[in-house]
Amino acid sequence: MPRYTSPQVLTTIHAETVSTRKLPLNFNQDHLALFDHDLERAIPEIRLLKFQDIRVSSEGLLFSGIRILPESFAFPHHLEDWKLRSIFKFFATNYLLRRLRRLDTELLWITDYWSETYFHWLTDALTRLYVVRDRLNDLVLMLPSGYDKRDFVTSSLKAFSVKTVDFIERNEVLECRSLLMPTHTAPSGHFNDEVIRGVRGVLLSAFGNSGHQGASERLYISRHHAAKRRIVNEDEVSQILCRFGFQTICAEELSFEQQVQISARARYIVSNHGAGLTNMLFMREGGSVLELRHQSDRINNCYFTLSSALDLKYFYQTCRPASDGEDPHAADLRVDPKELEKNLLLLRCVF
């Protein structure tokens, strides 16, 4: 078994930057604690790493010998949490139960343990693909098992003109002679402005100019079908939004291409915190976003920071949880209808 060696840094793709954000346009001073810690953030440099003689599980974890590499995770400290749950089962499965497939061609890796979800694929994985887009003709993009079943993955790869992509099967382990990996372009939930705007440009060029029947410049993206973070008084909310000319959509009922098309035509988007709000990525500069968010959640500012990176106008409304004591990231919300009407009026007045 080869001894693990640290990855080689091939090049620095992008220098360190600092991202600064303005407070929301409808900011209430009482809510400063929700935003003040994210008004400025250092965005580390982006490097291209080269790993040699490592293995990759079908779940997308990188390992060598009995060492799981921290680069498998969005944040290296997640490795310690994961070890407490799964490490013995992981090594038994991947050394004893799965077949080994070795590839000697040079491979490209852009995912981490979170990348299979809509938000993290678009903002964490595709940003890494974007910074190495000039190398795609010479590399095989490897992805974990199951990614080929996700429309937003396969469609977005077509937009980037990825010529060769291979998927690790569920019952196998991949042994890589040489694997290239761009580091994260920013900590998850934060953004290198130039890079995320570049991703928007690629996807809009591929899908954003086509017509979509029923598209509206005012969109409400509902989480009606979601398992968590729903709006419990959504019927009341929808009636108010309808009066203001908003069209309600459920993103999971649309193809990825349709989501790009309809969001590209939107001037206003309203939604509560969740994957559907990621579709603000396809809005043109100057559009407006209203996020319905838990009244005490100061951790999940990713849509506030994404709005800033994309030069969108960000508005918010704090909402009470439907049940006390629930995790703010999972709790269903109750929207104050009068406050919503006030914010919708303000949304239309700010140009």
What does the pLDDT look like over 13-50, one tens digit per residue?
999 999 999 999 999 999 999 999 999 999 999 999 99
Q: How confident is residue 342, by pLDDT bands cut at 50, 70 and 90?
A: very high
Specify the residue for token string 């937003």.
152
Backbone angles phi, psi at 206, to 5 degrees: -80, -40
**∠ CA(50), CA(56), CA(59), 5° rounding?**
130
Mean pLDDT value of segment 267-276: 95
Q: What is the pLDDT of residue 213?
A: 45
pLDDT surpasses 90 at 265: yes
Domain ranges for the chain: 8-15+46-207, 218-349
d(CA 63, CA 92): 13
- Indicate the angle between helix axes 151-159 and 193-207, nearest 10 degrees: 90
CA dist 41 to 15, 45, 46, 117, Å? Answer: 14, 13, 15, 24
pLDDT at 348 over 70: yes
Q: What DSSP string describes 121-162?
A: IIIIIHHHHHHTGGGGGG-EEEE-TTGGG-HHHHHHHHHTT-
Contact present, 131 and 195 (Cβ < 8 Å) = yes
Q: How far is CA 198 from CA 102, 113, 127, 128, 212, in A?
A: 34, 24, 8, 11, 23
What CATH number was assigned to the domain covering residues 218-349? 3.40.50
Phi, psi torsion values for 189, nearest 5 degrees: 95, -5
Percent of the chain with pLDDT over 70: 95
Distinct helix (H) and strand (E) counts, the chain = 10, 16
Indicate whether 272 pLDDT > 50.
Answer: yes
Q: How far is CA 115 from each of CA 61, 119, 130, rounded to the nearest angstrom?
A: 12, 8, 15
Is the pLDDT at 112 greater than 70, yes or no? yes
What pLDDT shows up at residue 80? 81
pLDDT of residue 59: 95
Whether 83 has a pLDDT exceeding 90, the answer reads no
Does residue 351 surpass a pLDDT of 70?
A: no
Looking at the predicted structure, is the pLDDT value of residue 227 above 50? Answer: yes
Instruction: State pLDDT tens for residues 164-223.
Output: 999 999 999 999 999 999 999 999 999 999 999 999 999 999 998 755 444 569 999 999
- CA-CA distance, 114 to 116, in Å (whole number)? 6
Answer whether 44's CB lies under 8 Å from 182's CB. Answer: no
**Angle (CA) 150 153 157, round 5°:** 145
- Residue pair 112/71 in contact (Cβ under 8 Å)? The answer is yes
Q: What sign does the dihedral 117-119-125-130 (CA atoms) show?
A: positive
Q: Do residues 171 and 99 make contact, with C-beta atoms less than 8 angstroms apart?
A: yes
Local confidence band at 1 (pLDDT 50, 70, 90 cut-offs): low
pLDDT of residue 95: 93
Burial code of 86-98, b = ≥16 C-beta within 10 A, e = fewer? eeeebeebbeeeb
Predicted local distance difference test score (pLDDT) of residue 3: 66
3-state secondary structure of 299: coil
Query: Using CA atoms, how far apart are residues 153 and 24, in angstroms rounded to an integer?
Result: 31
| Mean confidence (pLDDT) of the chain | 93
Question: Phi then psi for 5, rounded to 5 degrees?
Answer: -125, 145
Q: Which two structure tokens, joined as six digits, stand for 41?
A: 């953030």
pTM, to two decimals: 0.94
User: How far, in Å, CA of 246 to CA of 243, rounded?
Assistant: 7
Least confident piece of the model among 275-279, 311-315, 317-321, 323-327: 323-327
Residue 328 has pLDDT above 90, yes or no: no
